[in-house]
Structure 1
Amino acid sequence: MSHLDLIGSKKRKRGERVFRFKSFGESGYPVEFIGPFRETVKALLEFGHLETNSSREIPSWSFQLEFHRHHPVQILLFVVEEPVEASLNRHCNQCQYVGWGHHMICNKKYHFLLPSKDTVAAYLNCEGNSNNNRAGSGNGKSNLLELQGHIMHGVFHSNGFGHLLSVNGVEMGSDLAGHHIMEFWDRLCTGLRARKVSLNDNSQKRGMELRLLHGLGYGEPWFGRWGYEFARGTFCVTRSMYQKAIEAIQGMPLYLLIHHLGTSNHEIPVIFSRYQALSDHSLVTLGDLFNFMLELKSRLPTENSIDTYNSGITAETNCRWSPKRVEMATRVIVEALKRAEFRWVSRQEVRDAARAYIGDTGLLDFVLKSLGNHIVGNYLVRRSLNPVTKVLEYCLEDISNVLPNQEGSFMTNQRVKERYKISSLQLMKDIFYLYKCILKDRKPALGAGIFSAISVASRIILDSKYLIKEYSGDLPFKVELGFEGKLNIYCTVLLRSNKEVQAEGTEKAMPPYECVTLKNIATIDELKQEVQRNFREMYWGLRSLVVESVLNLNANGTDLVFGLVEVGRKLVFQGSTKEQGIMNGQIYECGLNSHVVDCPCGAKDEDGERMVSCDICEVWQHTRCVRIPNTVEIPHIFLCNRCEQEIVLLPSLP
């Protein structure tokens, strides 16, 4: 990998196929993706350009991709095949953190990279230095795989389980937006028949954590639009805790927030009123508000603005009442609501009060129907359906602090219309302001009572980092009778020598089921040989696997598989390995797990968060749980609470 010809890759334009970025990975482009991952990835690489200067130990291929045909943006995709022997660390931390530590280590990993301009420059700079100082550089490791800041970096194990390690969109200087990168990655995973793919969600937008922002607005993380869901939380957060946190923070009533924050922060009520005026339905909860703002952001042009002043009543050209009569009826209704002193009033009460001045009930019904969530003078007329009585109710909201000294009707006041406009920049400023005041830098008023739920829920959502999308799951694909007289069967292997693993349960000892294809005239012995070949090729700890028997099938070696084993049957094969020098625990992604994790939060396994070990009992705990801030270095000597108490209780020496 340290000899990748990146300069040559950029210069190759003639005679080499250029693929469309927005179609790459679709079925038939560039290849028909048929079979399990280990076969589809090999079929894809046949269309790549094998790097001539790449190391034999770590071969790599490149693909030229074109984003726009009329305004070409050339992108290079590199696929690097990393054998386990060349890896700096055989064990995969991502597998351990997401809960796949029981998986066996695969013989190969496939890295899919979209390098950025900065990572290419950093690589070439390191490569130049290592060429000049080859004698003292050791292995150098000026490795493209180790650099941070790629547009995209994803990795697959040869069994089809993968991890999306990084996505860097426009904010990080990329020519591609984040959603374009994710659509590309999702097509790759689908086409290659990946099984499950995980990611560690640290996505941000202008300093805002997207898993919190989108959790509040949509009830799911930003990656949720591509099917990624909660898999595992850090600090022992569970799926149930995550769902309850989402519900709690989304359901926070806006009127309570305004009541507690409005006196000390006048900007928050202004923002609430601004978007209520724009919405065609009542914004009752914090989730309603953020959902509306995020949806508006997705529809709003970057440079343009839309008018939040709603003049829908006069827009109807077939209205049988003159604008003057509509305006008069509107004033009467607003005056009736004023007398209600800003409380919610039923539609019938408003209508009855207005009839003392307007005898035309049809006109009143028309105005009441059209008036909800409109600005009239210095007031916002709000309309909502009472969830208990199921009756429409109206209420006035004074927005004079937004539009001071504004008088006149909602139809003729041009100054109101000019003042109440929203741009994309203003919208992002408002989202950031609310995020900071309510979710991030919470005021003392939000630290007690019902508002303490905001702090707790925000923390739980931020701790829900590990997401998984299931593409083809534990079973690689639908099993059926193959073409040309071939038979497909699900198979896995249980090692006979794994006594200590079997004591914990056979699930850890068995790799995921693989689809094995053989002729329908094959015998049980031939099936064993095919299973042995497939699992030797895939797993590092099974390179010397010898399949001995079928645990859940009573058959002789010469019996025909076809007719004895139905299509889709799961078979478990027992075997043993003769590899010397490999301990059983070392063949799994979690390793030997020699250290003990026992944190006050309840965690019993590593989850990727910063930890500290007690110098007496050597038990590991999260630094956050033992009140060591991330801004403070881990102390050289650390004692856990239990060991401290035991020392205190020891009798004094004479």
Structure 2
Amino acid sequence: MLNVDVNGNNKRKRCGRVFRFKNFAEPGYPVMFGGPFRENVNSLLEYANLETHLSMPMWSFQLEVHHHPPLHILLFVIEEPTQALLNRHCKHCQYVGWGNHLICNKKYHFVLPSKEALVNNGKSKLIELQGHMMHGVFHSNGFGHLLCVNGLEMGSNLAGNQIMDFWNRLCKGLQARKVSLNDISQKKGMELRLVNGIAYSESWFSRWGYKFGRGSYGVTQSMYQKAIEAIRSMPLYLITHHITNSNHAIPLIFSKYQTLSDQTLVTLGDLFSYMLDLKSRLPPETCIASYSTTALVETNCRWSPKRIEMATRVIVEALKKTEFRWVSRQEVRDAARAYIGDTGLLDFVLKSLGNHVVGNYLVRRSLNPVTKVLEYCLEDISKVYPCNESVVMSNKVKDKYKITRTQVMKDMLFLYKYILIDPKPIMGSEFLSAIPLAARIILDTKYFIRDYWEDFSLQVEVGSEEKLNLYCTILVRNDGDGDVYLNKAFMPPYECVILKRNSTVNELKVEVERRFREIYWGLKSFVVESVQNLSVNDGTEMVFGVTKVGEKIVVEGRDSNMRENMIEQMCERDPNSGAVDCSCGTIEDDGERMVSCDICEILQHTRCVRIPNDEEIPHIFLCKKCEQEIVLLPSLP
């Protein structure tokens, strides 16, 4: 973590300040944001320290995390001009589905650097370095990408949720449009988008409004939601029924957390949700016992320990006779009544005994998801935890039922590996083979998007008394034959254009020209010719005499530098990346590893053509189509 000396640099009137990290970018702190994205960025940078002697414009803010003990960090803002880049296309836009966006003139990088990055490399290479506490980038049209967040486990002094709160305030304050992220966060070898999806039906980032953006390998939002629901709703009862008798670890884990929980854990989603909640509530150094040797003997119990022990033995013997099948509570009760006449005692023991260890056996209890009836089953755990034939659980078994945060994570990792990812070693039925398939769909969904524009789109309709707002976009004509070339698929998003109450249509045209030239790299020579949805005869007419405040306006024009082959160069999608046509349905680069056919040069996923990730791409590769065409060629004489 970076500790900053905040006593220096008072040369600039506004920029010697230290800002509170937890309030930075809130309304009025340090500035009241109110304009379009670029104006808000410029307003914010007026309060920053300008860094000198660097290849790109850079500013910094000193942020106080806490006062006692003193801890400060630096926020750097780097302005990256598109003109200076060798490759102007943005791969992040391509991967998330924004490849048809026009390339912007500038990018703004917001970086909370790691201490090592500054010490070892200085400020000049912040954009290129990995491992920052936070790195986000905005295009000058307000679309952005959160590139990385590294919390406490990666050596930061800030927790991940603190960093995300900070980023969220920045996006809201600057009035970003949409922001994407690539969720590849892991913990203890587990992909968190899968764990959180099963536990909460959504990604960890959803608490800040990030929703499904784009799936890889042809995954759609519908497929993603159905996969989550399929795993979440999988009954624990059915999982235990389809596990071979040779493995007892998973039923023991189920029983352990069912014993701890006040609520019945019916599905896999219930279990993962409870485990994550339990872990968050357990201090690292403490543990709780999921079973007590006195669990069946309450202090105010009206039956003696001897009678309870006798009833317990009778119930266990009755379950033994079922040959380890699941039987209803009523069946167990009826079998035990032949030896124990006190039905109140039997009801008490049956209620207390479920999911507890008795001697060499685990008494499992579960709610049948079909009949909605409680059922019991006996599990022989002598091979797992050998202990004496006694109602009182041995110390060795009891220790296994002590829960710490570390143990919760170990148990979750075991379930993650042997139920979600690779169930083959323990599954005794093909019934559960759908789980890893659904898990694969969730793992193939990495790109999530937050639409900030929904929060304040078209809300500044009146502006002030003297300045009013319109929302304008453009339709660009080819400079050749005059046909519309930049069609609706490539129309830029609407920009808020602020005009005086008495502005004319000609003044509107000038303002639109200036605004779109300022934002987009390919529109430097753009000239407005007409306003599509305004009925005007003269450019001197008053704008707000022919339209209303807050209306959406389409403006037509032409760019003298635009040629028919320039449109691909003007968009974020790189025309040199190659055409994609994969068997999974993907027709655009989604960021996954691909291989190109040496004949038709069509790109496909290596996974879809069965090239393992741990193998190199072959020097010569032919797609199935080209391979079949070669086979059908007549043989040479």
TM-score w.r.t. length of structure 1: 0.85
Secondary structure, aligned partner of 2:530:
strand
The amino acid across from 1:233 in the alignment is G
The equivalences for 1:158-169 within 5 A come to 158-169=140-151
Are positions 1:614 and 2:612 aligned together? no
Q: Deviations over 1:330-372 (max 9, x none)?
A: 7776676666665555566666667777777777766666666
What CA distance in whole angstroms lies between the structure 1 residues aligned with 2:234 and 2:479?
A: 52
Q: Structure 1 595/415 Cα, relative in aligned 2: closer, same or farther at 3 Å?
A: closer
What CA distance in whole angstroms lies between the structure 1 residues aligned with 2:149 and 2:516?
A: 32
Contact 1:262 1:269 in 2 (8 A): no
What CA distance in whole angstroms lies between the structure 1 residues aligned with 2:22 and 2:467?
A: 35
What CA distance in whole angstroms lies between the structure 1 residues aligned with 2:450 and 2:482?
A: 28
Q: Which residue of 1 aligns with 2:530?
A: 549
The equivalences for 1:338-417 within 5 A come to 373=355, 384-392=366-374, 404-405=386-387
Are positions 1:590 and 2:573 aligned together? yes
Q: Which residue of 1 aligns with 2:277?
A: 295
1:179 to 158, 161, 182: 161
Structure 1 residue 100, shift from structure 2 partner = 0.5
Contact 1:116 1:151 in 2 (8 A): yes
Q: Structure 1 197/258 Cα, relative in aligned 2: closer, same or farther at 3 Å?
A: same
What CA distance in whole angstroms lies between the structure 2 residues aligned with 1:551 and 1:290?
A: 55
What CA distance in whole angstroms lies between the structure 2 residues aligned with 1:415 and 1:206?
A: 26
Q: Structure 1 408/590 Cα, relative in aligned 2: closer, same or farther at 3 Å?
A: same
Are positions 1:456 and 2:437 aligned together? yes
The equivalences for 1:484-563 within 5 A come to 484-497=465-478, 506-556=487-537, 557-563=539-545
Structure 1 residue 451, shift from structure 2 partner = 2.9
Q: Which residue of 2 aligns with 1:207?
A: 189
The amino acid across from 1:13 in the alignment is N
Q: Which residue of 1 aligns with 2:558?
A: 576
Contact 2:476 2:484 in 1 (8 A): no
Deviates more, 1:74-83 or 1:627-636: 627-636
Q: Which residue of 2 aligns with 1:644?
A: 627
Q: Structure 1 287/533 Cα, relative in aligned 2: closer, same or farther at 3 Å?
A: same
What CA distance in whole angstroms lies between the structure 2 residues aligned with 1:571 and 1:516?
A: 10
Deviates more, 1:108-117 or 1:86-95: 86-95
Q: Which residue of 1 aligns with 2:205?
A: 223
Q: Which residue of 2 aligns with 1:131?
A: none
What CA distance in whole angstroms lies between the structure 2 residues aligned with 1:350 and 1:501?
A: 85
Q: Which residue of 2 aligns with 1:195?
A: 177
The amino acid across from 1:162 in the alignment is G
Q: Deviations over 1:436-465 (max 9, x none)?
A: 233334426659733332332222222112
Secondary structure, aligned partner of 1:146:
coil
The amino acid across from 2:120 in the alignment is A
Are positions 1:44 and 2:44 aligned together? yes
Structure 1 residue 525, shift from structure 2 partner = 2.1
Q: Structure 1 459/345 Cα, relative in aligned 2: closer, same or farther at 3 Å?
A: closer
Q: Structure 1 346/632 Cα, relative in aligned 2: closer, same or farther at 3 Å?
A: closer
1:269 to 221, 231, 251: 251
The alignment's C-alpha RMSD in Å is: 3.6
What CA distance in whole angstroms lies between the structure 2 residues aligned with 1:112 and 1:239?
A: 30
What CA distance in whole angstroms lies between the structure 2 residues aligned with 1:571 and 1:89?
A: 33
What CA distance in whole angstroms lies between the structure 1 residues aligned with 2:522 and 2:613?
A: 38
The equivalences for 1:49-128 within 5 A come to 49-55=49-55, 58-124=56-122
Q: Structure 1 359/589 Cα, relative in aligned 2: closer, same or farther at 3 Å?
A: same
Contact 2:359 2:387 in 1 (8 A): no
Contact 1:282 1:382 in 2 (8 A): no
Secondary structure, aligned partner of 1:562:
helix
What CA distance in whole angstroms lies between the structure 1 residues aligned with 2:485 and 2:232?
A: 41
Q: Structure 1 413/628 Cα, relative in aligned 2: closer, same or farther at 3 Å?
A: closer
Q: Which residue of 2 aligns with 1:134?
A: none
What CA distance in whole angstroms lies between the structure 2 residues aligned with 1:416 and 1:445?
A: 22
Structure 1 residue 122, shift from structure 2 partner = 3.5
What CA distance in whole angstroms lies between the structure 1 residues aligned with 2:471 and 2:623?
A: 48
The amino acid across from 1:172 in the alignment is M
What CA distance in whole angstroms lies between the structure 2 residues aligned with 1:576 and 1:145?
A: 35
The amino acid across from 2:280 in the alignment is S
What CA distance in whole angstroms lies between the structure 2 residues aligned with 1:314 and 1:405?
A: 19
The amino acid across from 1:306 in the alignment is I
What CA distance in whole angstroms lies between the structure 1 residues aligned with 2:139 and 2:353?
A: 59
1:151 to 108, 123, 133: 133
What CA distance in whole angstroms lies between the structure 2 residues aligned with 1:337 and 1:382?
A: 10
Q: Structure 1 620/385 Cα, relative in aligned 2: closer, same or farther at 3 Å?
A: closer
Q: Structure 1 390/270 Cα, relative in aligned 2: closer, same or farther at 3 Å?
A: closer
Are positions 1:246 and 2:240 aligned together? no
Deviates more, 1:446-455 or 1:599-608: 446-455
Q: Deviations over 1:71-118 (max 9, x none)?
A: 233211101111111234211111111111111111111101111122
Q: Structure 1 237/12 Cα, relative in aligned 2: closer, same or farther at 3 Å?
A: same
Secondary structure, aligned partner of 2:167:
helix
Secondary structure, aligned partner of 2:180:
strand
What CA distance in whole angstroms lies between the structure 2 residues aligned with 1:502 and 1:47?
A: 47
Q: Which residue of 1 aligns with 2:607?
A: 624
What CA distance in whole angstroms lies between the structure 2 residues aligned with 1:343 and 1:249?
A: 25
Number of aligned positions between the proteins: 629
Contact 1:475 1:512 in 2 (8 A): no
The equivalences for 1:18-33 within 5 A come to 18-33=18-33
The amino acid across from 2:572 in the alignment is E
TM-score w.r.t. length of structure 2: 0.87
Secondary structure, aligned partner of 1:616:
coil
Contact 2:108 2:137 in 1 (8 A): yes
What CA distance in whole angstroms lies between the structure 2 residues aligned with 1:39 and 1:319?
A: 72
Structure 1 residue 376, shift from structure 2 partner = 5.9
Secondary structure, aligned partner of 2:278:
helix
Q: Structure 1 269/580 Cα, relative in aligned 2: closer, same or farther at 3 Å?
A: closer
The amino acid across from 1:647 in the alignment is I
Structure 1 residue 270, shift from structure 2 partner = 3.0
Q: Which residue of 2 aligns with 1:635?
A: 618
Q: Structure 1 576/494 Cα, relative in aligned 2: closer, same or farther at 3 Å?
A: same
What CA distance in whole angstroms lies between the structure 2 residues aligned with 1:608 and 1:536?
A: 30
Contact 1:501 1:508 in 2 (8 A): no
Deviates more, 1:328-337 or 1:555-564: 328-337
The amino acid across from 1:28 in the alignment is G
Contact 1:83 1:109 in 2 (8 A): yes
Q: Which residue of 2 aligns with 1:567?
A: 549
Structure 1 residue 397, shift from structure 2 partner = 5.2
Q: Deviations over 1:624-652 (max 9, x none)?
A: 22232332333333222222222222222
Contact 1:118 1:149 in 2 (8 A): no
Contact 1:270 1:401 in 2 (8 A): no
Q: Structure 1 427/563 Cα, relative in aligned 2: closer, same or farther at 3 Å?
A: same
Contact 2:328 2:375 in 1 (8 A): yes
Q: Structure 1 503/347 Cα, relative in aligned 2: closer, same or farther at 3 Å?
A: farther
Are positions 1:429 and 2:410 aligned together? yes
Secondary structure, aligned partner of 1:288:
helix
